[in-house]
Amino acid sequence: MNTVIEQWTAVRERIHAACVRCNRRPQDVKLLAVSKTVPFARVAQLARAGQVDFGENYIQEALEKIQAAEIELADLKEAPFSYPVWHCIGPVQSNKTKWVATHFDWMHTLDRFKIAERLSDQRPTELAPLKVLIQVNVDQGHTKSGIAPDAVLPLAKAVMSLKGLSLKGIMTMPDFHPDYDTQVDKHKIGKAVFDHVLQETGSPEWDTLSMGMTQDLEAAVEAGSTLLRVGTAIFGARLAA
Ligand SMILES: *Cc1c(COP(=O)(O)O)cnc(C)c1O
């Protein structure tokens, strides 16, 4: 067996063990393989092994892989739920929204209504609405991506009215902390925001909590994550970009 497949299998076992440990059903926690900087050949290999969701950060790099997949993985479209589902997990400037709206299935980094409006307007009508997540900054006081927890509900309500989008939930990326309980506490802030919006809106589409990466996925599972974004543990260390 090849290392990427072995490492992917080991990650799935980690997720399974984390679910068992906190009494969650493994089918409720999905794995998103973060393939930024990873050559298409390895993405294709993993797709053929059964990995469906892929996350990319850089639009140009992603578009090349999405196009390559259209040709080289076309046969996977014949089987249900096996062709890659593309998630944009990097920041998106307004001059790039068109690429996201036309080529991706998901976008995790929504932080402004203006971007949401552009994505909705630019989503081709023949495609299903673009699935989006609001990025939430759970590290108060730090200057980083995402909006404050108390700004999520108003933005969510506004985005829910847009026809070209399906608002699925939130994404968080807490600062890494080596202490497990601290990791869980950070992820619980995301979980509380997620639950609050669900309670206030009752939206049937609101079902995705994207949190947890290579170093903190067990804590994310414990806090209630439904989508883990894992790169390094599957593909190995990335070269500095
Ligand atoms: C790179 C990246 C990941 C994956 O991080 P790893 O530590 O390699 O698992 C997850 N989410 C986002 C938003 C990323 O940019």
The tens digit of pLDDT for each residue in 25-43 reads 999 999 999 999 999 999 9
Q: What is the pTM of this model?
A: 0.97
> Does residue 141 register a pLDDT over 80?
no
At residue 175, does pLDDT exceed 90? yes
- Any idea what DSSP says for residue 78? G
User: Per-residue pLDDT averaged across 88-106, rounded?
Assistant: 97
Residue 92: which of 55, 57, 131, 64 has the closest Cα? 57
pLDDT, tens digit (0-9, with 9 covering 90-100), for 220-241:
999 999 999 999 999 999 876 5
**Cα(126) to centroid of ligand 1, in Å?**
31
The rounded percent of the chain whose pLDDT value lies above 70 is: 98
Q: Is the CB of 14 under 6 A from ligand 1?
A: no
Residue 81: left (phi > 0), alpha (psi -120 to 50), or beta?
left
CB neighbourhood size of 81 (10 A): 8
CA distance 175 to 189: 13
Over residues 93-118, the mean pLDDT reads 97
Check pLDDT > 90 for residue 144: no
Ligand 1 atom closest to residue 34's alpha carbon, by position in its atom list: 4
| Rounded distance from Cα 229 to ligand 1 centre (Å) | 6
Domains of the chain: 4-235 (3.20.20.10)
Measured from the CA of 32, which atom of ligand 1 is nearest?
10
Is it the case that residue 160 has pLDDT exceeding 80? Answer: yes
Tell me if residue 20 falls in helix, strand or coil. Answer: helix
pLDDT of 48-68, one tens digit each? 999 999 999 999 999 999 999
Q: Is the pLDDT of residue 123 over 90?
A: yes
pLDDT value of position 239: 73
Closest CA to 201 of 149, 158, 171, 147: 158
Residues 190 and 239: their CA atoms lie apart, in Å, by 30
Distance 176 CA to ligand 1 centre (A): 11
Q: Does residue 57 have its Cβ closer than 6 Å to ligand 1?
A: yes
Model pLDDT, residue 140: 80
Stated length of the chain: 241
Specify the pLDDT at position 31.
Answer: 98
CA-nearest residue for atom 13, ligand 1, is 89
What is the overall mean pLDDT for the chain?
96
